[in-house]
Amino acid sequence: MHLTRLQEVLQRRKLDAAVFLQSSHDDPNIRYLIGIDTEFCALVIPARGAAHVFTAGFEVPRARKVFRSAHATTQASLSKDLQPYIGKRTAVCFDTLTVSSHAFLKKHFKTTLTDISSELRSLRMIKTNEEIRVIRAACRITDELFTLLLRAWKTFRTEVDAALFLESEMRRRGCEPSFPTIIASGKNSGIPHHHPTTQRLRKGFCVIDFGVRYKGYCSDMTRTIYLGTPSKAEAHMYEHVAMIQKEIIHSLRPGKPARQYYERAHGALGKAFTHGLGHGIGVQVHEAPNINGTSKDVFQEKMVFTIEPGVYTPQYGIRIEDDILLMAKAEELTRSSKRLIRL
Amino acid sequence: MHLTRLQEVLQRRKLDAAVFLQSSHDDPNIRYLIGIDTEFCALVIPARGAAHVFTAGFEVPRARKVFRSAHATTQASLSKDLQPYIGKRTAVCFDTLTVSSHAFLKKHFKTTLTDISSELRSLRMIKTNEEIRVIRAACRITDELFTLLLRAWKTFRTEVDAALFLESEMRRRGCEPSFPTIIASGKNSGIPHHHPTTQRLRKGFCVIDFGVRYKGYCSDMTRTIYLGTPSKAEAHMYEHVAMIQKEIIHSLRPGKPARQYYERAHGALGKAFTHGLGHGIGVQVHEAPNINGTSKDVFQEKMVFTIEPGVYTPQYGIRIEDDILLMAKAEELTRSSKRLIRL
């Protein structure tokens, strides 16, 4: 399906084939296009006909499970193996290709290399029905895990305990974390990308930010709970963030610039709102569109992205994040309660 | 320390500064040089004087914890922020720099970009005493976890149970997995990069391949145990692999080509040995030197790498892997027993 969409791009731009090379980096485009993630890998997609994967010999059986045309190669013989597939005009992705891999292609092939980064970004930004179905399932699992987490909360002594609980339950459901789980209690909640510690959970706001990767696709949800009893000012600030998130989600429409929504959130929350308002999710947990102050993306139907306003002070932090499917209006794919939960 | 070594390279090659840009990819060199891993990041190291990190505003406090000179920037203003640090000749790493980031530098700066990939590879390949100390500690934790795993084995029903046990115990010790833990029982042991399943553990060989990341540095160890009672042929094959691993480790010497050792293992194990003999470990779980059939690396003192011969058939697999510090001779940093354990 994704291969067909890419082949349409190649045909339209009169390119003979697209080549993706994985070196020390994973190229997320390879995972997007064929659903595997092997250590050393080249992927060739001709404008018409079957695509081919080249990988280390011992990875071929695993690659064949998900992609029928997988062949063994080594870095040393890759140039020979690719030769039959390379024509006059070859598509590559400058956003992921390294300068060394670019030099490798220039050295071994007489071909013009054309960048299709922006076409790939556009393809990946608009989800297919199948992708939406899988992300929807990932979000359902995420909600289920959050319910279990709250139920088990009294058994946790530290942030790490809570993070481990979530990650264990993910694995039991055939998922893995889409990023390192954040459990940030007390003052730690003021650090947006806090790493869980083995210190005792502290009173105050506790930011819980986690997601699963299910069948290759990511979810990403944040809830902020309160351990103990919040002051009036704290409860008020929580309601303020929750209200802004709700208003923004309700006002999302295709055709509008993403930046507008960031500016509205920033206008309402001020300097204490220190990060972007959201980001696309898909095979990567952060992908297009960007929803921040420098974004040039315009919302379109079938985009899936997060909306996550937050405020951070030296004393505490609050963030509320949901995964949104945009059609004529926004649908919240993550549905855990957003009332301030006190534990 | 690492910065000083890189600055010596810059001075020797008469380069004004080195620049590392992190885009959608992590650049492991940034983690190597300054010990942090932020989402969006540029690192500038002048040939003399203090280095500077530029990252998203909300990441600055976290970055300052490990690196004193961290400044806020955005992708849009990065070119202005970098301007004061860029001279006539700038070092970059073509092995990790993307073509798009290369174009960004060419567009905004009048500077010659010089590739220092091979110098960086050489620096990272030879460990400092401090790096050796940290990897040694990572290996000690790895041995401890393996002991705990065996003790708890009877409580596991599935491969995922065993993997989760290891990963939970890692997190309790302030570590994370250096790669997704492999627990491969029965026929699954024949797949070198098997992903644990939630099927019941099967009789036969069970490959346990895991490692921790501790203070930024990786360990990577494999043991193969037997669930049930091995046939004579199976026990014999295990002893064969173990003996070859032992002989190779004892014969490791600085000054010898890595490829020679791969060839010796391949000669002894034949076609059933389907992967490389080993790889360097450091901030990445796979880094230089390569120990395979196309390697041009020569062993040197203070290299730290794995030695991991294996055999794979459709019925089973066996792999034994240790982390080695090479000095005048090889020292095994992972020390778990290599007798065939039956559970």
What percent of chain A has a predicted confidence (pLDDT) above 90? 83
How many residues appear in chain B? 343
Assigned token pair, A220: 């990403």
Which residues in chain B have Cβ-Cβ distances shorter than 8 Å to A73?
Answer: none
Is the pLDDT confidence value at B4 over 70? yes
pLDDT of B24: 62
Q: Which has more pLDDT, A39 or B300? A: B300
Is the pLDDT confidence value at A261 over 70? yes
Among A94, A191, A294, whose Cβ lies nearest the Cβ of B74? A294
Would you call A95 and B275 a contact, using CB atoms and an 8 Å cutoff?
A: no
Is the pLDDT confidence value at A198 over 90? no
Q: What is the ipTM of this complex?
A: 0.89
pTM of the predicted model, to two decimals?
Answer: 0.90
SS3 content of chain A, % helix, strand, coil (to 5): 40, 25, 35
Is the pLDDT confidence value at A290 over 80? yes
pLDDT of A148: 98
Which stretch of A66-80, A128-142, B11-25, B121-135 has the lowest confidence by average pLDDT? A66-80
Is the pLDDT confidence value at B37 over 80? no
Q: Which has more pLDDT, A279 or B191? A: A279
Nearest to A52 by CA among A38, A37, A64: A64
Tell me the pLDDT tens digit for each residue of B55-105.
988 888 888 888 888 888 887 889 999 999 999 999 999 999 999 999 999
A227, HSE (Cβ side, Cα atoms, 13 Å): 23
Quickly tell me which residue has 């997704």 as its tokens: B180
Measure B15 CA to nearest chain A CA, in Å.
Answer: 19
Among A103, A176, A274, whose Cβ lies nearest the Cβ of B94? A103
Nearest to A33 by CA among A11, A61, A60, A6: A6
To test the contact with chain B by mutation, choose from A22, A155, A156, A171 the residue with the greatest count of B C-beta atoms within 10 A, namely A171
pLDDT of A41: 86
Is the pLDDT confidence value at B1 over 80? no
Tell me the pLDDT tens digit for each residue of A148-188.
999 999 999 999 999 999 998 998 898 999 999 999 999 99
pLDDT-derived band at B25, boundaries 50, 70, 90:
low
Which residues in chain A have Cβ-Cβ distances shorter than 8 Å to B59?
Answer: 192-193
Q: What is the mean pLDDT of residues A336-343?
A: 97
To test the contact with chain A by mutation, choose from B26, B38, B95, B98 the residue with the greatest count of A C-beta atoms within 10 A, namely B98
Is the pLDDT confidence value at A24 over 80? no
Would you call A58 and B312 a contact, using CB atoms and an 8 Å cutoff?
A: yes
Which residues in chain B have Cβ-Cβ distances shorter than 8 Å to A275?
Answer: 56-58
Measure B334 CA to nearest chain A CA, in Å.
Answer: 24
What percent of chain B has a predicted confidence (pLDDT) above 90? 83
Is the pLDDT confidence value at B198 over 90? no
pLDDT of A154: 97
Is the pLDDT confidence value at B271 over 70? yes
Q: What is the mean pLDDT of residues B291-310?
A: 97
Q: What's domain A2-124's superfamily in CATH?
A: Creatinase/prolidase N-terminal domain (3.40.350.10)
Which residues in chain A have Cβ-Cβ distances shorter than 8 Å to B313?
Answer: none
Would you call A176 and B174 a contact, using CB atoms and an 8 Å cutoff?
A: no
Q: What is the mean pLDDT of residues B126-142?
A: 97
Would you call B75 and A171 a contact, using CB atoms and an 8 Å cutoff?
A: no
Burial (CB count <10 Å: 0-12, 13-18, 19+), residue B314: exposed
Which residues in chain B have Cβ-Cβ distances shorter than 8 Å to A95?
Answer: 23-24, 98-100
pLDDT-derived band at A25, boundaries 50, 70, 90:
low
Q: What is the mean pLDDT of chain B?
A: 94
Evaluate the CA torsion angle A93, A52, B291, B340 in order and state its sign: positive
Q: Which has more pLDDT, B186 or B67? A: B186
Is the pLDDT confidence value at A280 over 90? yes
User: What residue ranges do the domains of chain A occupy?
Assistant: 2-124, 129-332
pLDDT of A139: 98
Measure A150 CA to nearest chain B CA, in Å.
Answer: 19
Would you call B59 and A193 a contact, using CB atoms and an 8 Å cutoff?
A: yes
Measure A121 CA to nearest chain B CA, in Å.
Answer: 12
pLDDT of A161: 94
Distance CA A245, CA B39 (A): 24
Topology of domain A129-332, CATH: Creatine Amidinohydrolase (3.90.230)
Q: What is the mean pLDDT of chain A?
A: 94
pLDDT of B282: 97
Measure B105 CA to nearest chain A CA, in Å.
Answer: 13
